[in-house]
Chains A and B, each alone.
Chain A
Amino acid sequence: MNGLLVLPLAIPLITATLGLLFRKSSQLQRWIGVLGAVALLATAILLFRDVHKDGIQVLQLGNWAAPFGITLVADMLAMLMIGISAIMGLMIAVYSLYDIDKERERFGYYPLLHILIMGVNGSFLTGDIFNLYVWFEVMLIASFILLALGNSKNQLQGALKYVFINLFSSLVFLFGVALLYGMTGTLNMADLAVRLPEVENSGLVTTTAMIFMVAFGIKAAVFPLFFWLPASYHTPPVAISAIFGGLLTKVGVYALIRVFTLLFTGESADNDYLHTILLWVGGFTMVIGVLGAASHMEFRKILSFHIVSQIGYMIMGLAFNTAMGIMGAIFYVLHNILAKSNLFLISGIAQRLLGTFELKKMGGLYKHYPFLAVLFLISAFALAGFPPLSGFWAKLSLVKAGLSIEQYVITGVAILVGLLTLFSMTKIWLTAFWGPVPEKTPDHFGKMPLFGAGKLYILVIPVMVIAGLIILVGLNAQPLLELCMTAAEQLLDPSVYIEAVLGPQ
């Protein structure tokens, strides 16, 4: 029992409540928003130390013994995800100080942001499948409002698609939960892991696994189910795009990793069948996503399609179902949250300077803002997988995992997609950064410094910090790789998780 486990949920809730209490004062809201994010990061570090030292931490809420009450479980995977979401939460909160207008602040932007983070943290921590559904809904309702806040035509169009597809996926998820409950009579994930192999009708378990694959696949935006993402993620303000693009789809990936390592293992379902489908889905997601990115000429749309493409790598790592593959997938998730969010944040700065996201109307950023160009290069090269940046190690471990189980075709596809990623990043570089200064630019272009008058540094500092983290992870990858390996080993041996939750068997 570790009482700290409740804090990643309580701190955002308290922050959001305080923010709503002082709704009238935008100054106070900002302070509360940023301080809440700092407190969350501090708790995440404390919890992380516990998990690193003593293994999986468990909290039975209300002191109800395991299969009957709701359990919070922090294993290494959950902690890594909470850590990265706390870092991103803080960076986005700082970035929002400049990026979010007074109107949105007045309608509760900061409280919503923290409710979103609470939903994300809850999804990572919970050990109960129905509770996971509830946290997904918390996260969804906050994201719905964040996406629609502002009511511009584009946002409404994006929000309509996003809302309906996500409502549908939640219902599919709930139906899957109903089937699991009908088969086993329990909802606790550790208890489910014990009882699912005992179910006689293993065909039904495989079917349920497919239902979960569809439900989480929609959230994670995998191949046949991703169309809502590029249609909606580019519409809200950049800070919101960045946290959606960085975190939300990864929660779907996290849920996939969790259920396909804990519940639907080789003992309970037809594993070969499921993992073959996952492998195909991963491959198609990579290729289709990157082709979509190559065909677009709008900064944020390119990035949105890249989200889809990168999800494919993570699904591929999960489909390999080896310690190396899952380790690669986890590392990829962490690296991708950093690199992807950072590119979104940079697109926001570029738009502030040039007044548009259309690449054809952009140019001259390298000439006037070389430092911004360097920050872009770091994130873009990390995304494409250049050594010595974080993406290189992520791709390297996935490729190694693929070669070691002789999946040559999909590994080849993964390497090819990396090249195409580089191609579409070069497209942004050649136009927005290296291109000639466009004829019509806003008056302040070239005159407003990144640091100094104009306070652009509020936007630049979070980007610098994240770029620093990317370089740090790249140059010193070993500690993080080891942590990911611990997480993967914990996932592949569910008995540790089960024993931590239910007690010695």
Chain B
Amino acid sequence: MDTILPIIAGAIFATGIYLLLRRSLILTIIGIILISNSVNLALFSLGRLTTENPPLIKAGSLEPLTPFANPLPQALILTAIVIGFGLLAFALALAYRSYRELGTVDQDELLQDAEDTSATIVPKEDYKEGGDS
């Protein structure tokens, strides 16, 4: 296990990088998902895999049965998964919104005429009266 897992993590990372470099926005997102999972796997295997007892304390006892598996990497991965999930949901929403607004998921077309920034902000309407907004 502890030799196979890092190799798998590396392979997934490489696949993720390949997808990240594709032009379609959707593939880029899938690439980020893959990289995120491979980093989690790496964290898991760097936390020393063991096939021992679960890190739980039996009723009536004061300490877990030794040797027990290290629970910390799992807690870290859980945190990372939750954070990754939130960010991913945002990235998907952003991609969908860009598709709706700009009509394409091809990044070359998506990022065209990004130079024109003059129209970003229109001055406020209540300029002259000096309204309070």
Contacts and interface: CB of A to CB of B under 8 A. Distances in A.
Interface of A: 101-102, 130, 133-134, 137, 140-141, 144-145, 148, 151-161, 163-164, 167-168, 170-171, 174-175, 177-179, 181-182, 231, 234-235, 237-238, 298, 300-301, 351-352, 355-358, 361, 442-444, 448, 453-455
Contacts of A134: 79, 83
B12 to A, nearest CB: 12
Contact of A182 (B47, B98, B128, B132): B47
Chain B CB within 10 Å, residue with most, of A181, A238, A448: A181
B86 A141 contact: yes
Contact of A141 (B87, B102, B119, B120): B87
Contacts of A152: 120
Given A352-B123, A454-B128, A171 B35 contact: yes
B126 to A, nearest CB: 9
A156 B90 contact: no
A153 B87 contact: no
Given A158-B114, A442-B123, A171 B43 contact: no
B63 interface: no
B75 to A, nearest CB: 9
A370 to B, nearest CB: 21
B111 interface: yes
B91 interface: yes
Interface residues of B, number: 45
A167 B87 contact: yes
A101 B133 contact: yes
A178 B94 contact: no
B117 interface: yes
B94 A160 contact: yes
17 contacts: A102-B133, A133-B80, A154-B114, A155-B120, A156-B102, A159-B94, A163-B94, A168-B32, A174-B80, A181-B72, A234-B117, A234-B120, A351-B121, A442-B123, A442-B127, A448-B127, A453-B130
Interface of B: 20, 25, 28, 32, 35-36, 39, 42-43, 46-48, 72-73, 76, 79-80, 83, 86-87, 90-91, 94-95, 97-98, 101-102, 107, 110-111, 114, 116-121, 123-124, 127-128, 130, 132-133
B118 A358 contact: yes
Contacts of B94: 144, 148, 156, 159-160, 163
B117 A235 contact: yes
A175 B25 CA distance: 24
A145 B97 CA distance: 13
B101 A153 contact: yes
Given A163-B94, A171-B35, A157 B114 contact: yes
Contacts of A351: 121, 123
A178 B121 contact: no
Q: Which 7 A-B pairs rank lowest in CB-CB distance, beginning with the nearest?
A: A182-B46, A178-B43, A454-B130, A157-B114, A156-B98, A453-B130, A178-B46
A160 B25 contact: yes
Contacts of B130: 453-455
Nearest to A164: B28
